[in-house]
Structure 1
């Protein structure tokens, strides 16, 4: 296992950005290297909701900081990682408490603690500025982190995690298999299983892919099955989808496509579209397009603008309608 490469992948996934992952090395003490990382992000957002008045607001809740330790001893590698952001409160400008995002231990190929679900790793992501709604409709839709145990065998990852259903008798499960091809192309195959509120243990699957087109890239993701709304954030129950309606498990089918166009070393643009069809009576079918432009002033500092539209509301921060965001992010 290439642990520096593995941790770099974690950092990239944590920030959802094509910009280089950064960290400040504090030094090595008794076989343990220590570093801090994170970013500060300021956002200005204009909303044009379908059911309410237009509004403008700013926030910086997404800003985060992490501490990482890596110990090499007796032929083993032990990684400790803890990270928090300021989404402990729900509304912008209110109760911006520090919130635990990640807190895990990685011992060689085994990981225990709080971090991304196995379902999160099913998705090939491209750049988006909307931290709360950007991946919604994919299996990474809720930026979902939970307490879990996982083990990786080369390209195969098996994860057992704290169940979404508090009354479940068994852990939620995910199995990921990654295929990497020449030229940087990749394919991710995922199987998901969990016990839903009616007591049924249900399952589904997903395919994620990234196709390199020179400097540019195309991402295609699809999923189908029951019990997936808890991860996509779409379905019966909204952002806390129960995946059960009238006592029966609800299935859904979703598709996400994104294209990243790299203009040069400083500029890149992204366009993406997500659609989910839910087999329910509550009419929770979902679709969302988005377009953004991102400029790296220097590798550590980027600014961007994004337009997006949601056909469903997901709480006060993601209303039905259009949003335009302008942001600045400084990574360290």
Structure 2
């Protein structure tokens, strides 16, 4: 049996290598209980940014204000990713990487280091490893050309965790990190509880987060927060996606938007996002999106909007164009951007 499985695995690897990057994903049955799957996509982006917020290949919840406005154009393929899943009965292992790990330069080769996005093991109802936080509803992320989408209004974080799922209810203990505080004494894991409601109409999740934060002077503070997010089907293939987050959420919201603690005070954040996707025909579609976040102690106030147009040229090949703006109201700065994306799903 071992020889048979090994030969099939070698065959699968050989097929993937010979086929190159631009080919369909693979789902290969090795035995009655064993299956290996390969997937991912190739994505090429052309991005132009103009304004007094420094260029970024994708917006996050913060930015650097420039003394004078500047314009920059870049062409890159860093979002390209590859994943592999191995299943053996009730056990499943999954790993995924992309190429936002830094490295390389724009002078010679533009080489980019791979980084781990997901790496976890799932056995029946228990998941252990690194993946999206249980606090996050991934179905509520809009379709955008910008890699992150409107992170200013999103819960957006991957981290180590142990999660238990019982029907619609999920609970997890997750990696702690007091951003802006005493990280050397993060001795208690973050705790997340989430309840999912779903049907033919779509889905909605309600999540709660509890953490122990450590200030730089050695004090401990309890931080709690809540989130409601979902994707609601409307007419035809159209859908409405939303997120609302409130509480002492710190690093969980906005991808570096606000720290967990500022001095000896715990930051409180309010963030929200709304996006509507409309299908003009079977594949041509547009998403209009707006996201914003505010923090009470630091006074951070950021927002982002965008509108795009995507179409599938083939079942696996799509092209999209997007226009939008990232705004830092607290610093009186903003930048406009335009992006063209080509994506081939493996």
Short-chain TM bin: 0.7 to 0.9
Cα distance in 2, alignment partners of residues 246 and 48 from structure 1: 34
- Structure 1's 123 and 278: CA in aligned 2 closer, same or farther, altered over 3 A? farther
Question: Alignment partner of 2:130: what SS?
Answer: strand
Relative to structure 1, the CA distance from residue 122 to residue 82 in structure 2 (aligned partners, 3 Å threshold; closer, same or farther) is closer
TM score, norm. by length of structure 2:
0.79
Q: Return the offset for 1:122.
A: 7.0
Which structure has the larger Rg? 2
TM-score w.r.t. length of structure 1: 0.82
Which residue number in structure 1 is paired with residue 342 of structure 2? 328
1:240–1:217: structure 2 CA closer, same or farther, 3 Å change rule? closer
1:292 to 308, 331, 334: 308
| Correspondence for 2:140 | 124
Write the distance in 2 (CA, Å) between the matches of 1:264 and 1:133.
23
- Report the equivalent of 2:201: 184
- 1:283 is aligned to 299
Partner of 2:234: 213
Name the structure 2 match of 1:249.
266
Distance 1:91 1:97 in 2: 8
How many residues align structurally? 292
Distance 1:326 1:113, change over 3 A: same
CA distance in 1, matches of 2:162, 2:140: 22
Does residue 67 of structure 1 match 2:84?
yes
In structure 2, distance between residues paired with 1:99 and 1:122: 20
**Shift in Å at residue 185 of structure 1?**
2.7
| Inter-partner Cα distance in structure 2 for 1:212 and 1:58 | 35
Q: Does 1:224 align with 2:246?
A: yes
1:186 shift after superposition? 1.9
**How much has 1:123 moved relative to structure 2?**
6.4
Secondary structure in 2 aligned to 1:196? strand
The aligned residue for residue 18 of structure 1 is: none
CA drift at 1:241: 3.8
Find the counterpart in structure 2 of residue 100 from structure 1: 116
Aligned to 1:4: none
Distance 1:123 1:29 in 2: 32
Task: Map residues 26-37 of structure 1 onto 2, 5 A cutoff.
Answer: 26-29=28-31, 31-37=33-39
Which residue in 1 is equivalent to 2:25? 23
CA RMSD of aligned residues (A): 2.1
Match of 2:162 in 1: 149
Cα distance, 1:91 vs. partner? 8.3
Distance (whole Å) between structure 1 residues aligned to residue 85 and residue 35 of structure 2: 8
Stretches of structure 1 that go unaligned for 5 or more consecutive residues are 1-21, 314-318
Q: Is the 8 Å Cα contact of residues 104 and 113 (structure 2) preserved in structure 1?
A: no
**1:195 corresponds to 2:217:** no
Structure 2: segments with no counterpart, 5+ residues:
1-23, 53-65
The offset of 1:30, in angstroms, is 6.0
Match of 1:53 in 2: 70
Distance in 2 separating the partners of 1:95 and 1:296: 29
**CA deviation map 1:118-165 (0-9, x unaligned):** 12237622211211353332212xxx2111100101011111111122
Residue 283 of structure 2 is matched in structure 1 by 266
Secondary structure at the aligned position of 1:298 is classed as coil
Q: Within the alignment, does 1:170 sit opposite 2:188 as a pair?
A: yes
